[in-house]
Amino acid sequence: MNDGENSDPVSFEEYSIVAQGLQKSFGKLKVLSDLSVKIPRGTTYCLLGPNGSGKTTFIRAVAGLLRLDGGDLSVLGEPVSNVCRVYPRIGYMTQHKALYPDLTLQENMEFYAGLYGIEGARMSERISELLEMVDLADHSQRITGALSGGMYQRLSLACTLIHEPDLLLLDEPTVGVDPILREAFWRFFDDLAEKGSTILITTHLMDEAERCKIVGYMRAGRMLAEGSPEELKRLAGLQPILKLSVKEPEASATRLAAGGFDASVVEGELHVAIEEHRKLKEVLDLVEPLDLRLVEPTLGDAFLRLAEEVQR
Amino acid sequence: MMDLGFALNSKRVLVVARRVVRQLKRDRRTIGLITFAPIFLMILFGYALSGEMSGINLGIVDFGGQDDLTDHLASVDDFDLLRLGSESDAEKLIVEGRLHGAVVIRDNEVRILLDGSSPQITSSIMTEVKTGLLPKNGLRNGEMIGGEGESGGAVNVASLGHDGGIGGVGGHGILGSDVGIGRNDALGEYSAVEAQSPEIVQRYVYGYDLEMMDSVGPAVLGLVVFFFTFITAAISFLRERTQGSLEKFMVSPLSRPEMVAGYLLGFSLFALLQSATTFLVVVFVFGVPMNGNPITAFAVILLLGAGALVLGAFFSNFAKTEFQVVQFIPMVILPQVVLSGVWWPLESIPAFIRPISYILPLTYSSDALRAVMLKGAGISDILVPDLLFLAGFFVIVFGAATLMLKREVG
């Protein structure tokens, strides 16, 4: 690791992944540009960003599958040049399924268990547990090639978890998984994180990102913003909006503006930004709504706002 | 990042091997490719190379004086005879492509006119003419004398040497010692002048009459195994890459040598099956002799198959699709078909190309298999250079394939 002037001392006990100033180009295309990130142990960390922002490149760099052009990277306390030493502690799920279609589900799992030296009763126990978790226990003797896309994805996740890894690298793991099962996945991820595993995940789904403890927003190979979902919304300057249906919206908006509120009329509906929830009562004292609803800002809104700012 | 990890963990190798076997067991098409395609191919080769021909159009201009020859030519089933009045008629028909050749028979001379377009047909006509000229019962299988002929070559003739290369192709190997033959013009005219009739002693060094299939069969056996193993392995490794499992392995305790070794082990079971079936066809359907120990022949085939497998793994790095794997056939397989002495002796390959022949594994497997099957050679006889080269080839390509299964797989 660099011990540059501005670098804080890093505790490898505290962090699973520490990256500083990572650089990577494919030809003239720069995919990682001075990327720095620290991922604490026992957390769920989500990488968000548009296509081509460098999320998968970063995950592959962490997995030791890429030669970096510059920067320092350590994984589970090992410099990335020796990352193979900690491979038995890493679970890696690629965007490809990495399953053998002509084997049964059970055989696929036995194969991956064997690679990690899991045998006998422990293997059977682990396979049953994981197939149960991904809701495929009834299909264990089916040929994998006959599974639907979502089932494939679930089996792929189960194979990735077979050896109870300390660090899980999941590249879009819930693509094709239905919302109910996705919920089960996330409960499982939370549970793993609570037990001390670190989960680095990429996703396009904002609602999934919102379930992570830390979200990093990447763009053009850089980390634009990082923090908990709530922190990021605040960073984007987003506030809850109270949407009201009133008899005279224009007059109500003028009244609210005079009272110091940020109010506007959108398609005949009165919108009022609420800095704090206790301000709600003050608004309701000034207008008589026929109907009202409070809309909280989403992480998606936050990233749109951040992206706009970057664009500007 | 580039830890080669050459210390193999046998358990992990077995895990990969078991998976490969399980997979192949369910892949009926590949099983078919591995077992039945070589059999089918060998049967095609076997019949194509049996050395038997039919439908040869031969003209006869008979001015009398060689009744035995006339009778003999009439008795040959392979010939469709056309009796003609003059040599010029015969020549005209040959030029028109209606005859493959003609025999002009006079009391003191036999002239043979040939179109020369096919060495096999030329050989067949020459052989039968010479046979017809032999005194009856003059041909007998005699004592073993002489040495080895060219194409696995079993024929040797007492008292007279090679007669201008004719007669070697069909391999029936009857060379008339009492006939002097010389080429006269561009049409390919030969005159055979009867001389004295010494006793002809003909012998087969390995105790049998070699047909082309006998000589080529052992080498083709190697070629077939090499071809199918190479293609199957290249596609299998390509699939590992395209389906993402290779990338997943790279982030697991499985080292690259373990992965290749696991494949090798898994595939070797099927290579055995493939070798055994093809071998049975060669020996029992086409009667190619098996004078040596079949296990030694199997060992050669397995060593060659191992080389083909790692070569397939190596080349899979340069293909993105299965279509591109097929494009390796002209690059990897065809040079071996042409340059490794499967069909014709290395000595007939121009000297400036021959160094290439000496770096092709099939050159050595062909040599070894011929030695074991035809001459009854043992392991010690084929150790240098054949087995040594095949083992060295395997080790070097194994290393190269392992290095090429890059961590940077995407």
CATH number of the domain within which A134 lies? 3.40.50.300
Answer yes or no: do A212 and A287 share one domain.
Answer: no
Answer yes or no: do B62 and B120 share one domain.
Answer: yes
Answer yes or no: do A104 and A223 share one domain.
Answer: yes
Nearest to B251 among A81, A90, A143 (CB): A90
The reply to whether A47 falls in a domain is yes
State the pLDDT at residue B211: 61
User: Chain B: residue nearest A85 by CA?
Assistant: B253
Domain containing B343 equals 10-49+211-404
Answer yes or no: do B261 and B375 share one domain.
Answer: yes
Residue scoring higher pLDDT (B404 or A163): A163
Number of structural domains found in chain A:
2
Answer yes or no: do A201 and A152 share one domain.
Answer: yes
Domain end, chosen from B145, B169, B204, is at B204
Domain containing A289 equals 239-296
Number of structural domains found in chain B:
2
Answer yes or no: do A118 and A225 share one domain.
Answer: yes
φ and ψ at residue B260, rounded to 5 degrees: -65, -40
State the pLDDT at residue A12: 65
**What separation in angstroms does the CA of A92 have from each of A49, A253, B251, B278?**
20, 53, 7, 43
Q: Could you please report the per-residue DSSP string of B347-401? A: GGS-TTTHHHHTT-HHHHHHHHHHHHHHH---HHHHIIIIIHHHHHHHHHHHHHH
Shortest distance between the Cα of A192 and any Cα of chain B, in A, equals: 20
Contact predicate A128/A134, CB 8 Å: no
Q: How many helices (H) and strands (E) does chain A have?
A: 10, 14
Answer yes or no: do B168 and B274 share one domain.
Answer: no
Residue B99 above 50 pLDDT?
yes
Residue B177 above 70 pLDDT?
no
Q: What is the ipTM of this complex?
A: 0.78
Shortest distance between the Cα of A170 and any Cα of chain B, in A, equals: 12
Q: Residues B368-372: what's their mean pLDDT?
A: 92
State the pLDDT at residue B206: 52
Cβ separation A114–B12 shorter than 8 A: yes
Answer yes or no: do B343 and B313 share one domain.
Answer: yes
Domain end, chosen from A199, A215, A234, is at A234
pLDDT digits over A206-265, tens only? 888 888 999 998 888 989 889 998 888 877 777 888 899 988 899 989 988 888 888 888
Domain end, chosen from B181, B204, B227, is at B204
Nearest to B252 among A87, A97, A169 (CB): A87
Answer yes or no: do A160 and A26 share one domain.
Answer: yes
The reply to whether A9 falls in a domain is no
Nearest to A117 among B11, B408, B409 (CB): B11
- Chain A interface disruption, residue of B6, B14, B248, most A CBs within 10 A: B248
Cβ separation B247–A64 shorter than 8 A: no
Answer yes or no: do A30 and A99 share one domain.
Answer: yes
Q: How confident is the model at residue B52 (pLDDT cuts 50, 70, 90)?
A: low
Answer yes or no: do B18 and B85 share one domain.
Answer: no
Nearest to B1 among A64, A92, A98 (CB): A64
Answer yes or no: do B104 and B173 share one domain.
Answer: yes
**What separation in angstroms does the CA of B33 have from each of B38, B39, B378?**
7, 10, 31
Shortest distance between the Cα of B320 and any Cα of chain A, in A, equals: 15
Q: Residues B238-251: what's their mean pLDDT?
A: 88
The reply to whether B409 falls in a domain is no
The reply to whether A312 falls in a domain is no
DSSP β-bridge partners for residue B60: B83, B103
The one-letter amino acid code at B336 reads Q
State the pLDDT at residue A276: 76
Answer yes or no: do B222 and B184 share one domain.
Answer: no
Cβ separation A97–B5 shorter than 8 A: no
Contact predicate A206/A39, CB 8 Å: no
pTM of the model: 0.72
The reply to whether A307 falls in a domain is no
The reply to whether B4 falls in a domain is no
Domain end, chosen from B204, B239, B262, is at B204
pLDDT digits over B187-217, tens only? 444 444 444 443 434 444 454 445 667 778 8
**What separation in angstroms does the CA of B271 have from each of B34, B227, B302?**
8, 11, 7
The reply to whether B2 falls in a domain is no
Cβ separation B244–A94 shorter than 8 A: yes
The reply to whether A306 falls in a domain is no
Answer yes or no: do A206 and A264 share one domain.
Answer: no
The reply to whether B5 falls in a domain is no
Least confident of A244-253, B91-100, B232-241: B91-100
Answer yes or no: do A257 and A132 share one domain.
Answer: no
Residue B35 above 80 pLDDT?
no
pLDDT digits over A174-211, tens only? 877 788 888 888 888 998 899 899 999 998 788 888 88
DSSP, collapsed to helix, strand or coil, labels residue A285 as helix
The reply to whether B233 falls in a domain is yes
Cβ separation A84–B1 shorter than 8 A: yes
Cβ separation B248–A102 shorter than 8 A: no
Q: How confident is the model at residue A127 (pLDDT cuts 50, 70, 90)?
A: very high
State the pLDDT at residue A10: 60
Residue A116 above 70 pLDDT?
yes
Answer yes or no: do B31 and B146 share one domain.
Answer: no
Strand A167-171 with A198-202, pairing: parallel
Answer yes or no: do A284 and A137 share one domain.
Answer: no
Answer yes or no: do A258 and A173 share one domain.
Answer: no
Answer yes or no: do B226 and B368 share one domain.
Answer: yes
**A225 at B interface, C-beta within 8 A:** no
The reply to whether B1 falls in a domain is no
- Chain A interface disruption, residue of B23, B30, B251, B263, most A CBs within 10 A: B251
The reply to whether B135 falls in a domain is yes
**A64 at B interface, C-beta within 8 A:** yes
Q: Residues B18-29: what's their mean pLDDT?
A: 86
